[in-house]
Homo-oligomer: A and B are copies of this chain.
Amino acid sequence: MFAKWPLLTTLRGYDRDQAGRDMLAAVLVCLMLVPQALAYAQLAGLPAVTGFYASMLPLLVYALIGGSPGVALSFGPVAVLSLMTAAALAPLAEPGTAAYLVAATSLTLMVGILLLAMGILRLGFIANFLSHPVISGFVSGAAILIAASQFKYLLGVSVSGLTLLDVLPALYRQLPEIHLPTLVLSAVSLGLLLVLRNLQWFGLKKSLVQRVRQFAALILMMLAMGFGAFLKLEQQGVVVVGQVVTGLPGFSLPSLDPGLLRELLPAAVLIALVGFVESISIAQSLAMRKRQSIDPDLEVVGQGAANIASAFSGGMPVAASFSRSGLALQQNVATPLVGAFAAALMLAAVLGLAPMLEHLPQAVLAVTIVVSVVGLIDIASLRRTWRYSRQEGAAQLATILGVLLHGMETGILLGVGLSLVLFLWRTSRPHMAVVGQVPGTEHFRNVERYEVVESSTVLSVRVDESLYFPNARYLEERIGALVSTRPQIRHLVLMCSGVNQIDASAVDALDAISGRLLSAGIQLHLAEVKGPVMDRLQRSDFLQNFGGQVFVSQYKALCTLDPLFAESAIHHHYG
């Protein structure tokens, strides 16, 4: 694995031009990272400084171990994982307490270890069981929850709860308690942010519009800190981020209490999987643009190491961020050293910004969070999935509703479970077609869809599914029904081009079918059996006992079993 370690190749011949490119990219990303680090720490219920910590050491570690410098650049705290962290810790401790911090570092450590194990044991395939509709539904649901969780800051009220069923009624009850100065501040900030993100309304230059849009959150934050200090907002009762620990990050130790670790395990597994899927997708799309390929195992090891680093420097699960990857993609990054520059810049930011954060209202951070996650709510995806497949649309909807109404773990388990059950259900009642020859070819297609030629004595049946226990009995029934309406047939050829597996139950079923057909004077044959399936069939007694033949193609079967058909086929072919 470490033969591919990218840093070694990098350091040989690192020049000024490369250093300049890396530095510029690092500066731009940090400008975006600073407000997000603060905002996501708030979302996770952790002190503001934790967000900075999670953007330093992990970013550095990932850059030095991981594969793609571009991914490293977008590494750090992300919105969805921060919400998942808050959800995992809420039942265990009160935000702001020491117990909460210990639980957070423990959770992050577990996430890191799980990812490391996934990489070493090559278990990354587990993430493949999160289908696109389920991931999309999960992200949409989480984005709605995130936005909902920030309303208390926007309104200056106190509300707890992690599902819509908890948050919405609590917000409604708190309506009379709304803190007017905070509400006004939120409204002004929101308006300002929307203007900053949409300068094209004022006919400004496109490149300027785009750049301001990327750093709109930072601009708003700086303005809010300035006006906050000037207007002494905290004296109006507006809640501010408050005193931040300055200087180097204090390294905290995770707890090793088995009870705590057991309680955190399900959330840690989910955070690891979601973080992995998000990071690997970003890595893949970055690699695609650059015509490179990624090593998923190396990526996941880097991601695990980064989370372990985060656990020992504050404790917030980290991953590659979709929002920062957009910026990272545009940068002409030269080497993984970009991560070291970014980490150094974040350290400078902590030292420089800390005194100012005292005046930053939480409501302003909430505004930046709400605006950024609204873009993650993807209703179009739900509509697209539903149009493509009702079943998959239902799984996506179940994921969203599960997340919103019962929590993120429920949502994702519901989605994955439903997707698998529906797949198994579809395979248990496979599509079957009577097929005939497409005239002039050796190709056989469904008689109901194509103008095809059929033999009068040989029935050709195509089964469009692997034959395995859930559909073995169904196969028996369907073939019985097909045969019963065709008294004149003498041979039945099962076209196995769609049969990718035949399990032991299905071999028994084929045996039973062949026996039943024989008793009705019909011989069963197989055609187009694939190599791996044939290898397996040869380990059973079926091929010796069933009395029929296995043909290389359906065409060959028909030519052999029905001489009249063969003649007419040749006529078609050469005619």
- Scoring A residues 71 to 97 as 1 if CB is less than 8 Å from chain B, else 0, what string do you get? 000000000000000000000000000
Output the least CB separation between A551 and chain B (Å).
10
Assess whether A549 is interfacial by the CB under 8 Å rule: no
In the bound complex, do residue B464 and residue A500 qualify as a contact, i.e. CB atoms below 8 Å apart?
A: yes
- Shortest distance between the CB of A573 and any CB in chain B (Å): 9
Question: Which listed residue, B431, B515, B531, touches A532 by the CB 8 Å rule?
Answer: B431
Tell me, in angstroms, the Cα distance from A464 to B532 when the chains sit together. 10
A interface bracket (residues with beta carbon within 8 Å of B): 35 or more
Chain B residues with CB below 8 A from A468, complex form:
131, 423
A68 to chain B, nearest CB (A): 16
Whether A474 sits at the interface, judged by CB under 8 Å, is yes
Q: Is the CB of B504 within 8 A of A392?
A: yes
Whole-angstrom distance between the Cβ of A392 and the nearest chain B Cβ: 5
- Say whether A433 faces chain B, with CB atoms less than 8 Å apart: yes
A146 CA to B443 CA, complexed, in Å: 56
- Chain A, 505-534, contact with B by CB distance < 8 Å: what is the 0/1 string? 101100010011001100000001011100
When chains A and B are docked, how far (Å) is the Cα of A553 from the Cα of B440? Answer: 12
Tell me, in angstroms, the Cα distance from A133 to B288 when the chains sit together: 45
Residues of B within 8 A of A516 (CB): 288
Could you tell me if A387 and B128 are in contact, using CB atoms closer than 8 angstroms? no
Which residue from B291, B384, B464, B480 sits with its C-beta under 8 Å from A530?
A: B464
Q: Known contacts A433-B531, A449-B531: does B505 contact A132 (CB below 8 Å)? A: yes
Q: Point out the residue from B129, B389, B469 that lies within 8 Å of A470, measured CB to CB.
A: B129
Residues A438 and B389 in contact in the complex (CB < 8 Å), given A420-B424, A531-B446:
no
Question: Chain B contacts of A284 at CB under 8 A?
Answer: 512
Report yes or no: B503 in contact with A500, Cβ–Cβ below 8 A.
Answer: no
A533-557 CB contact bits vs B (8 Å, 1 = yes)? Answer: 0001001100000000000110110
With A470-B129, A519-B288 known as contacts, the answer to whether A500 contacts B465 (CB < 8 A) is yes
The 8 Å CB contact of A498, one of B430, B473, B498, is B498
CB closest residue in chain B, given A540: B388
From B131, B438, B497, B515, contact of A503 by CB (8 A): B131
- Known contacts A532-B464, A553-B441; is A133 also within 8 Å of B505 by CB? yes
A387 lies within 8 A of B555 (CB): no
CB-CB under 8 A from A433, the residues of chain B are 531
- Asked, given contacts A389-B536, A470-B129, A555-B442, whether A430 binds B503 with beta carbons under 8 Å apart, the answer is no
Asked if A469 and B419 sit within 8 Å, CB to CB, the answer is yes
A60 within 8 A of B: no
Beta-carbon contacts of A430-472 to B below 8 Å, as 1s and 0s? 1101000010011101100100000000000000111011111
- A501 in contact (CB, < 8 A): yes
Q: Which residues of chain B are near A428, meaning CB under 8 Å?
A: 125, 128-129
Contact pattern, A 406-436, Cβ under 8 Å of B = 1, otherwise 0? 0000000000000110011011111101000
Chain B residue at smallest Cβ distance from A465: B500
Known A442-B441, A498-B500; contact A512-B464, beta-carbon cutoff 8 A: no
A556–B387 Cα distance when bound, in Å, is 31
Which single residue of chain B is at the shortest CB-CB distance from A445? B552
Asked if A385 lies at the interface with its beta carbon under 8 angstroms from chain B, I say: yes
Question: Which residues of chain B come closer than 8 Å to A512, judged between CB atoms?
Answer: 284, 288
- Do the beta carbons of A288 and B553 come within 8 Å of each other? no
Of A130, A133, A423, most buried by chain B (CB within 10 Å of CB) is A423
A519 to B285, CA, bound (A): 13
Pick the contact of A132 from B423, B427, B441, B508 — CB < 8 Å?
A: B508
Q: Specify which of A133, A443, A474, A480 lies most central, judged by the most chain B CB atoms within 10 Å of its CB.
A: A443
**In the bound complex, how far is the Cα of B433 from the Cα of A392, in angstroms?**
29
Closest Cβ neighbor of A480 among chain B residues: B293
Q: Are B445 and A125 in contact (CB under 8 A)?
A: no
Chain B residues within 8 Å of A507, by CB: 388
Residues of B contacting A470 in the complex (Cβ-Cβ under 8 angstroms):
125, 128-129
Residue of B nearest to A422 (CB): B503
In the complex, what residue of chain B is closest to A464 when comparing beta carbons?
A: B500
Interface string of A275-303 (1 = CB under 8 A from B): 00000000010001001010000000000
CB-CB under 8 A from A472, the residues of chain B are: 128, 132
CB of A237, distance to nearest CB on chain B (Å)? 49
Query: Closest CB-CB distance, A390 to chain B, in whole Å?
Result: 10
- Nearest CB of B to A508, in Å: 5
From B388, B430, B536, B552, contact of A443 by CB (8 A): B552
A480 CA to B288 CA, complexed, in Å: 11
With a cutoff of 8 Å between Cβ atoms, the chain B residues found around residue A128 in the complex are 428, 469-474
Give 22 A-B contacts (CB < 8 Å), ordered by A residue.
A125-B429, A128-B428, A128-B470, A128-B474, A129-B470, A131-B468, A131-B505, A132-B508, A291-B520, A389-B536, A420-B424, A423-B501, A442-B443, A443-B552, A445-B552, A449-B531, A464-B500, A466-B500, A497-B497, A497-B498, A498-B498, A498-B499
